[in-house]
Amino acid sequence: MLDRLADLAAEYAQLELDLADPAVHADQDRARSLGRRYSELSQIVHVYEEWRQVSDDEVTARELSGEDPSFGQEADQLARRREELQQRLEHLLVPRDALDAKDILLEIKAGEGGEESALFAGDLLRMYLRYAERQGWKTEILDSTVTGLGGYKDVTVAVKAAGRGSLAGTPDGAWAMLKYEGGVHRVQRVPVTESQGRIHTSAAGVLVLPEADPVEVSVDPNDLRIDVFRSSGPGGQSVNTTDSAVRITHLPTGIVVSCQNEKSQLQNKEAALRILRARLLAAAQEEAEAQASAERRSQVATVDRSQRIRTYNFPENRISDHRVGYKAYNLDQVLDGDLDAVIGALVEADRLEKLAAAS
């Protein structure tokens, strides 16, 4: 472990020099890539440096305890701190998702339940926007289809992590914390459309994609069919008198992306290309994982998107995550963006699984 930590510290020092070089920032993609790696290594190197300092101080205190017994107590305290830091380093060195530092595209789609499902999709959107706000992240709605009652048939949001999240041990990047959100989210409550007060169950789907840099996914313009049409609002009425909405079909894969939120055709095209690159990157990753060995797949946390991963029970003010057995009775706070405990339970379960696989 010590040899690996020394190598990482040397890499970190080199990255510091590289990022201080103005020539590096002339290439935005390279600067972004180096910055992500620097952020990934930052916490490991800082803990390692503290561990080295504490270890040196412990040795010194042990030597001095022969002349002054009071140094023996100090040495014992330093030993306990050294062991804590060593355990922390072991956790930080657990194999981690290579995409953890990435920003994401978050897609929410209404599912079973009609208008109530669309309203729940809107609740989920607000929950994630509030969570991102608490983290100091930036969000941008790239595309959405609003229903007559103000719900969302579907909505796509770009989430960019502007700084470190509140969960200790996680690197910069929205993917590190929100990748566990992909799946079917179920709600149990009395819908606003229900006149007799009966509790209904409906669902909405969440898809989380790491946002791809242009250098990661090359899209050949000859592989695209681009159609333009007029944007539409709730009920299908036209909200734009020009053909500003854009639909892009990636011919080799059949992936179709459409965007209509912006008034400019060019802006909608750029947003659609961002979503398309993210979906192509996700498709490439799924194909690579499918070809990996069973042992390798067992070390990669994946989510079956057909699985109901979480239930939001309004009458009991309860939230339950079925993957890790998490349950709490603060649903109102969670829907206001207080997701730290829920996500923390998933992060910890993933970490323990990887620790077991690595041992």
Residue type, 156: T
- The total number of residues shown for the chain amounts to 359
Burial (0-12, 13-18, 19+ Cβ within 10 Å), 168: exposed
Residue type, 35: G
How far is Cα 147 from Cα 149, in angstroms, rounded to an integer?
A: 6
Sign of CA dihedral 306, 312, 316, 322: positive
Please give the chain's pLDDT, 359 residues, in tens.
788 889 899 999 999 999 999 999 998 888 888 988 898 899 899 999 999 999 999 999 999 988 888 888 999 999 999 999 998 888 788 777 778 888 899 999 998 778 899 999 999 999 999 999 999 999 999 989 998 888 999 999 999 986 544 454 445 689 989 999 999 999 999 987 776 778 888 999 999 988 877 656 778 888 999 998 877 665 555 555 567 889 999 999 999 999 988 888 888 998 999 899 889 888 887 776 665 443 333 323 333 334 689 999 999 999 999 999 999 999 999 999 999 999 999 988 988 887 777 66
Confirm if 149 and 118 have CB atoms less than 8 A apart. Answer: yes
The pLDDT, as a whole number, for residue 292 is 45
The pLDDT, as a whole number, for residue 162 is 60
User: The whole model's pTM is what?
Assistant: 0.66
State the span(s) of the chain assigned CATH 3.30.70.1660. 104-291+305-356
The pLDDT, as a whole number, for residue 359 is 60
Q: What is the CATH number assigned to the segment(s) 104-291+305-356? A: 3.30.70.1660
Terminal-residue alpha carbon distance, the chain: 13
Residue 225: which residues within 8 A CB-CB, separation 6 or more?
248, 249, 251
